[in-house]
Amino acid sequence: MNFDRRDFLAWSAALAAGPTFAANGTPARGGTLVFGVGREPPSLCSAFTTAGPTQLVSGKVFDGLLTYDLNLQPQPQLATRWETSADGLTVTFHLRENVRWHDGKPFTSDDVAFSLLEAWKKFNARGRTTFLNVERVETPSPRVAVLRLSKPAPYLLRALSSVESQVIPKHLYAGTDLLANPHNSAPIGTGPFKFVRWERGRQLVLERNADYWDSGKPYLDQIVFKQLTDPGAATAALETGSVHLASELPMSELKTLAARPNLAVHKRGATLSATLTAFEFNLERPKFQDLRVRQAIAHAVDREFLLKNVWYGYGDVSEAPIPRTWAAFHTEDVPKYPFDLKKAEALLEAAGLKRNAQGVRLSFTNDPNGSTGVLFQTAQVLRSNLAKIGVRMEVRTQDFGEFVQRIYTRRDFDTAIYTAGAGPDPAIGTQRFYWSRNVQPGVAFSNGAAYRNAEVDRVLEAAQVETDAAKRRALYVRFQQLVQADLPKIPLIGSESVVVAQRNLRDFLTTADGMLGNFSGAFFDKGAA
Partner 1 sequence: MNDVSLSPASPWRRLLATLVAWRRPFVRALPTAFGVVVLNFVLLQAIPGDAVDALVAEAGSATAETTALLRQRYGLDKPPVAQLGDYLGHLAHFSLGYSPRYDMPVMDLILARLPNTLLLMSMALGIALSLGVSFGVVMATWNGRWPDRVLSSIAFLLYSTPGFWIGLMAIILFAVQLGWLPSGGDATIGAELAGWAKFGDTLKHAVLPAFTLATFYIAVYARLTRAAMLDVRTQDYVRTARAKGLHPVRVTLRHVLRNALLPLTTVAGAHIGGLLGGAAVAETVFSWPGIGRLTLEAVQAREYRVLLGVLLLSSFLVILANVLVDLLHARLDPRIKGN
Residue 259 CB neighbours (<10 A) = 10
What is the separation of C-alpha 112 from the centre of its chain, rounded to a whole number of angstroms? 23
> Binding to partner 1 by residue 228, rule CB under 8 A?
yes
> Binding to partner 1 by residue 17, rule CB under 8 A?
no
> Binding to partner 1 by residue 174, rule CB under 8 A?
no
List the interface residues with partner 1, window 59-78 (CB under 8 A): none
> Binding to partner 1 by residue 176, rule CB under 8 A?
no
Contact 100, 129 (CB under 8 A): no
Sign of CA dihedral 42, 44, 48, 53: positive
The residue from 12, 24, 50, 436 that contacts partner 1 (CB under 8 A) is 50
List the interface residues with partner 1, window 439-468 (CB under 8 A): 440, 442-446
Nearer of residues 383 and 406 to partner 1, judged by Cβ: 406
The residue from 68, 107, 279, 403 that contacts partner 1 (CB under 8 A) is 403
The residue from 126, 158, 299, 506 that contacts partner 1 (CB under 8 A) is 126
> Binding to partner 1 by residue 527, rule CB under 8 A?
no
Tell me the CA distances in angstroms from 226 to 98, 209, 234, 365, one per residue in order.
Answer: 33, 20, 10, 38
Nearer of residues 380 and 405 to partner 1, judged by Cβ: 405
Q: In the stretch 138-157, what mask flags binding to partner 1 with x, by CB under 8 A?
A: --------------------
What is the separation of C-alpha 9 from the centre of its chain, rounded to a whole number of angstroms? 20
CA pair distance 333, 483, nearest whole angstrom = 12
Beta strands in 383-512 (DSSP E): 391-395, 415-421, 489-495, 499-502, 505-506
Tell me the CA distances in angstroms from 45 to 116, 231, 282, 512, 517, one per residue in order.
Answer: 14, 25, 35, 19, 14
CA pair distance 344, 389, nearest whole angstrom = 7
The residue from 136, 151, 202, 471 that contacts partner 1 (CB under 8 A) is 202
CA pair distance 84, 147, nearest whole angstrom = 9
Q: Which of 56, 32, 183 is nearest to 119 (CA)?
A: 183
The residue from 29, 30, 32, 338 that contacts partner 1 (CB under 8 A) is 32
> Binding to partner 1 by residue 365, rule CB under 8 A?
no
Number of residues that bind partner 1 (CB under 8 A): 61
CB of 160 to partner 1, least distance (A): 17
* Cis peptide bond upstream of 424, omega within 30: yes
The residue from 71, 400, 469, 527 that contacts partner 1 (CB under 8 A) is 400
CB of 362 to partner 1, least distance (A): 26
Residue 470 CB neighbours (<10 A) = 8
Query: Residues interacting with partner 1, by CB under 8 A?
Result: 32, 34, 39-40, 42-43, 49-53, 123-126, 128-129, 179-180, 184-185, 199-203, 222, 224, 226-230, 232-233, 236-237, 239-240, 242, 369, 398-406, 409-410, 420-421, 432, 440, 442-446
